[in-house]
Chain A
Amino acid sequence: MKTDRILILASAACAYPGADAVGQAHLSYPANTFVLRVPSPVVFPESFYYDSFEKGIGGIIVMSCGVECPYEGAYEKLAARLDRVALGLREREINPRRLKLTSICTVCTKSFLKEVTDMNKVLAAEGVAA
């Protein structure tokens, strides 16, 4: 069962404070978003993404620190893994645009909102409206 729920995997050092900054600025975005704080999204194996979609998650936005990741080499490993997951999603006939890797810093409020908006558009096109 596919839902409109968006899972946001937010790095504790950058993206999670970035999501907080959106709140501190009292900006608004849809409530179908669930932010999970993680030390680094590199922790998740490929199966985590497939299983999450299987469980009903509509979209996953991986918000990392990007090249400014405090963990050496983690971002590059994460990016390579998500490339493989994108191929795996195609094989499973899941729109790979339902998974997005992005970099969000502690003050990237506009980028955060844009990513949420974009993912909701993807889900809307899939027939799951937020």
Chain B
Amino acid sequence: MSRDEVKIGVYICHCGGNISDRVDVAMVAEEAGKLPDVVISRTCMFMCADPGQELIAGDIERHGLNRIVVASCSPSLHETTFRSAVVRGGLNPFLYEHVNVREQVSWVHASGRDATAKATTLVRAAIARVRHHEPLSPIKVGASSRALVVGGGVAGLRAALDLAGFGLPVSLIEKSPKLGGRVEGLGTVFPAGESGAELIRTLVEQVSAADEITVLTRTHVTGATGYVGNFSVTVSRDTGNSSAIETEIKAGAVVVATGSTPYRPVEGEFGFVRFPEVVTLPDFLRILDQARSGGALTVNGRSIRRVAFIHCVGSRQIEGIHEPKPDCSLNLNCSRVCCTATLKAGSDLIERFPGTYVYDFYRDIRTYGRGHEEIYERASADGVVFLRYEVGAPPQVTEAAPGDAGSMLVTVRDSLTAGMEIEVAVDLVVLAVGMEPAEVGALAQTLKFPSGADGFLQEVHPKLRPVELAVAGVVLAGTCQSPRDIEESCASASAAAVKVAGLLTRGYVELEPFVARVSAERCEGAGACVSQCEYEGALKVVEAEVDGQTVRKAVVNGALCTGCGACVAVCPTRAIDISGWTLDEFEAMVDAICADPMEVAGD
């Protein structure tokens, strides 16, 4: 395509205010529209939404555009989206350039003037670059159809079964000696009240019966290499006699279902450890599950008639109020499931052990899910007594005096009774502890899994790519991503399985075509490029006949080239480049960045 045929469309996204609250998007579009070859320059409230994408596709057809630039959020979120829109307009997807004016402009620069100036310059640089783009085709690479599921709790079991349902071979590894995770010990589970143990037994039976699924218990990941379609994961299996067997699993995709762990209160927190009858909610559910109904519940040989439940222990912590962990972190998040689980436990206790008094000390009640509010109403109807505390004045657990009705006193300034100080004598205190991310281990370290500030693994986008990690081919299932209940864990596991099936059922994956290419005209066969290449067979110099003369030329094997560019930097004649990332493109961007006088004040 000759230079004078270039027709560029430029689109600046408001991102619903995320960008336009700081960047004057109309001004950026106006400035872009003044540049040579820019045929259309528009703004749009949400470029990623259907109307935005259709705008691109329609403009390509209406105006004969052959290059597209979109300034929006990070390319990790929507580069693929806009390439697809470009394809729908009839263009090659790589005649597209993405500008990140959200994560790297509007979210990091306080001054609207500076942000607008920078966005204008970045768009100018993208326009300079996109002129050099050429049509490219993705490289198809054969993919393993096997999926690896890491973690054999309820989410891992659900994901493995769904993957097997697609006919895919599955390796399911679990570090403990048995499948099932934490659900088995929860007794009956909300909202329907079925047995957690029964639920797990059913899933494990189905997994065992599925020919597609290979289960490895006592097994953990020790390392991983590769990329989407072709991961190689090394696992170590404890044989039970102080030795381990290392195995390599070749998998096209990985489902991470490593779960979470309950928060462990520090010694003295609400009397934990100091009083043996202060227990966590998971421990209490296990006690309740194993107890025979009727009479009084017995804990540590003591008859339990009065029980206090305290909410938000290790959740919704606030700096300056709560004690940070040794690594100085706090659990800022709500753990979501503990309110409903606590209320259900209170009701179960009263219904199974009539005559037991239950006192519920809460900050807020968050029974958010379908059927959860009914559990709150049931607790009220069962006679659970609610007392509300403020975050700065949590309940105090102290030793009761002889003659008190229980062994411990829980004292609270109850905001439901205008801040009245109330003392309740109890036999047992149950701490509704939050969820913390479990250790993911070597898999996360070697494949570089991103996690949020809360330590849970972080998806690419909570709505647009809710179960995918930024590492292509790795998806998330269950509470490794965030606190959630069993229902939500299973939903995310099924979603993860569908994502993996979409990747692996084709038998191949498409990799971006950004590999080295050689200009036969410029190449003089010096071979400097070959000396820099670390990948066996990716690059070599061959002899060829040109105009009756034998000449030496470098040739690239695109399937073996990784596109690192080490060869590019050393070519004396600039004969080699990375497709889609050429030196000409980078130089054009630097020219554009330096071109306009910049008036930027520091933030």
Contact = CB atoms under 8 A, between A and B. Distances in A.
A20 interface: yes
Interface stretch (B104-112, B362-370, B499-507): B104-112
B527 interface: no
A127 interface: no
Contact of A22 (B108, B125, B581, B590): B108
A48 B586 contact: yes
Contacts of A4: 598, 600
Contact of B581 (A34, A38, A105): A38
B566 A106 contact: no
A33 B453 CA distance: 25
Interface in B141-155: none
Contacts of A37: 75
B113 to A, nearest CB: 9
A22 B121 CA distance: 20
Contacts of A21: 450
Interface in B537-591: 562-566, 568-570, 578, 581, 583, 586-587, 589-591
A94 interface: no
Contact of A77 (B532, B578, B602): B532
A3 interface: yes
A24 B107 contact: yes
Given A28-B110, A48-B587, A77-B532, A34 B593 contact: yes
B568 A43 contact: yes
Interface string A28-51: 111111111111101111101001
Contacts of B118: 31, 33-34
Contact of B108 (A17, A26, A55): A26
A120 interface: yes
B564 A31 contact: no
A106 B111 contact: no
Interface in B115-158: 115, 117-118, 121-122, 125
B594 A5 contact: yes
Nearest to B114: A31
B270 interface: no
A33 to B, nearest CB: 8
Given A40-B564, A42-B565, A106-B450, A31 B600 contact: yes
A90 interface: no
Contact of A130 (B470, B569, B602): B602
B102 A23 contact: yes
Given A106-B448, A106-B450, A31 B109 contact: yes
B448 to A, nearest CB: 6
Interface in A55-81: 55-57, 68, 70-74, 77, 81
Contacts of A71: 534, 562, 564, 566
A7 interface: yes
A30 B599 CA distance: 12
Contacts of B239: none
A112 to B, nearest CB: 10
A34 to B, nearest CB: 5
B594 A45 contact: no
A72 B534 CA distance: 6
Nearest to B569: A45
B303 interface: no
B247 to A, nearest CB: 24
Given A17-B76, A106-B448, A107-B450, A40 B565 contact: yes
Interface string B511-545: 00010000000000000000010110000000000
B320 to A, nearest CB: 20
A27 B566 CA distance: 33
B603 interface: yes
Contacts of A55: 590-591, 594
A24 to B, nearest CB: 6
Contacts of A20: 74, 76, 100, 103-104
B602 A27 contact: no
Contacts of A19: 103-104
Given A19-B104, A45-B569, A74-B566, A30 B602 contact: yes
A57 to B, nearest CB: 6
Contacts of A40: 564-566
Contacts of B570: 45
B600 A36 contact: no
Contacts of A38: 565, 581, 586
A34 B103 contact: no
Given A71-B562, A77-B532, A105-B448, A57 B104 contact: no
21 contacts: A5-B593, A17-B450, A30-B603, A31-B115, A31-B603, A34-B118, A34-B122, A34-B593, A36-B589, A38-B586, A39-B564, A39-B565, A40-B564, A40-B566, A43-B578, A44-B583, A45-B568, A46-B569, A57-B594, A71-B534, A72-B564
Given A7-B593, A31-B111, A42-B564, 19 more contacts: A5-B594, A19-B103, A20-B76, A22-B103, A22-B108, A23-B108, A30-B114, A31-B118, A31-B603, A34-B122, A39-B578, A40-B565, A43-B568, A43-B578, A45-B583, A56-B594, A72-B564, A107-B450, A107-B451
3 tightest A-B CB contacts, nearest first: A43-B565, A23-B103, A71-B564
